[in-house]
Amino acid sequence: MRIAIGVLGVIVALFGLLFALQGFGFVGGSPMSNTTTWSILGPLIALVGVALTVGAVRRKP
């Protein structure tokens, strides 16, 4: 279960990073590009993913 949560956390963090990059306009070709909403939500989603990953790694088996 620990590994599954860790993998899920990494995936969520990567999606958050992608959303943030789209919101800031670094990744184009999407309705999410240059949007303030994703500039705010993207980093928050990435932080949730990092927290999941760190929590899974630090959890005792």
Tens digits of residue pLDDT in 25-53: 999 888 889 999 999 999 999 999 999 99
Whole-number Å distance between alpha carbons of 52 and 6 = 6
Task: Give me the helices (H) in 1-61, please.
Answer: 2-24, 36-58
Range of the domain at 45: 2-58
CA atoms within 13 A on the CB side of 12: 18
CB atoms within 10 A of CB 3: 9
Lowest mean pLDDT among 11-15, 20-24, 57-61: 57-61
pLDDT for 60: 79
Tell me the CA distances in angstroms from 8 to 3, 28, 34, 48, 54, one per residue in order. 8, 26, 27, 11, 11
Full-model pTM: 0.90
pLDDT mean over 51-57:
95
Q: How many domains does the chain have?
A: 1
